[in-house]
Amino acid sequence: MENKPKITIVKIGGNIIDNEQLLSDFLNDFSELKEAKILIHGGGKTATEIAEKLNLKPLFSNGRRITDKAMLDVTVMTYSGLLNKQIVAQLQALKTNAIGFSGADGNVILSEKRKNSEVDFGFVGDVISVNKELISMLLLQNITPVFSAITHDGNGQLLNTNADTIASEIAISLSNAFDVNLIYCFEKKGVLSNSEDEASVIEEINFEKYSILKEQKIIHSGMLPKLENCFKSLSNGVQNILIGNQNVLKNSTIHTKIKL
């Protein structure tokens, strides 16, 4: 069987984006990856800070942001504008030729407004499809796509979309053509068995172990959606998934490996 080209797809969390030094360290390591690569980023605290300056009160339900019309404007400006272009500019300085995208650009990520939810999350999108042909074409030109967490519905409406899910859906869409290494990078060293103890990294989790830890409420509730995305990705052709901190691209660091 022919060996597929390798690709590394990394999603970085808000707490790394919020910290100039952590982001700089991460982007240095990311730029040194020789294989094809894609970066997906969330928004961090910046959207909340800008909203507060505009006297908008951010709304949350169980830790998940509710996106009304005014908040959508702020998230689009912050994620697809300010943060996306800052990251792209830093990658250019590191000699990585990056282009920033929202899901609307090149019709690259199509979503629909969330349905059948007990809570109305407003202008929040769930991914329907990924334009893998366009992404593959960019990768062949040695371009590194950088995706913000904004998608569109094909009818002119932008939607705020979970960045972990975007990373998973892009990884799945490319898994036929590439050997995909999917990495979730945030401020912790990995999945912790005790959220108060940074040293309690679970170095390997399969679905059976995850189910037990979930039932025992050992895994922090905020980690559950990320792990659900991981298992969905592995079940749909993604070869390798890691969760770790900004040093996760260094092979020697402690992290969590996800297995089926």
Is pLDDT above 70 for 210?
Answer: yes
Query: Above 70 in pLDDT, residue 43?
Result: yes
DSSP state of 258: E
Give the pLDDT of residue 6: 96
The ranges assigned to domains in the chain are: 6-258
Give the annotated binding-site residues. Answer: 43-44, 65, 160
Distance CA 71, CA 202 (A): 36
CATH dotted code for 6-258: 3.40.1160.10
Lookup result for tokens 């409420």: 217
Annotated binding site for substrate: 43-44, 65, 160
pLDDT of 63 over the 70 cut: no
CA atoms within 13 A on the CB side of 81: 10
> Mean of the per-residue pLDDT values for the chain?
94
- Tokens describing residue 229: 């995305």
The whole-angstrom separation of Cα 53 and Cα 59 is: 15
